Amino acid sequence: MKFFEDVEVGETTRFGRYEVTREEIIEYARQFDPQPFHLDEEAARASMFGGLIASGWHTGAMFIRMVCDSMVPTAATSGSMGFDDLKWLKPVRPGDVLFVESVVREKIESRSRPDRGTVKIESRVSNQRGEVVMSLVSLVIYMRRA
């Protein structure tokens, strides 16, 4: 397991593989983000996006799924406090295959809770053409070694 002490500023990790399907884009949109360009192929073609695109919050969900599959099993994390500066940079479309690159930007020790610390991680989600589709800076809680 990787604890707060084991995390190094500057550390870079590439992980994940998420195949984006039309069915999942529409299913997510129906449940949470029913805007025409996420929901309906015809309406999407007529929109500024020129075709169906995933909800940005759905892209965030794909990101956390890749984090859960690749990073969480070997990291002594205890969730996240939030994040800064999330940008949706490019549309995510059916057939895209996404991956993540993360860089540790900062480690912040907790004054009030000596058993943990916060790690600031900048992540970029990219598609199969290497285009960054989403970026964000997460504040992740890591436990210290006992």
Contact residues: its own copies, CB under 8 A = 31-35, 37, 47-48, 55-57, 60-62, 64-65, 68, 72, 78-88
Our CB check for its own copies shows the closer of 69 and 109 to be 69
Tell me which amino acid residue 105 is. Answer: R
DSSP string, 115-146: TEEEEEEEEEEE-TTS-EEEEEEEEEEEEPP-
Biggest alpha carbon–alpha carbon distance for the chain = 57
**Could you tell me the smallest distance in angstroms from the CB atom of residue 108 to its own copies?**
15
Nearer to its own copies, 65 or 145 (CB): 65
Give residues with Cβ within 8 angstroms of 136, minimum separation 6.
Answer: 60, 63, 83, 84, 85, 86, 87, 122, 123
Residue 139 CB, nearest approach to its own copies (Å): 9
Q: Which is nearer to its own copies, 10 or 79 (CB)?
A: 79
Please report how close the Cβ of residue 42 comes to its own copies at its closest, in angstroms.
17
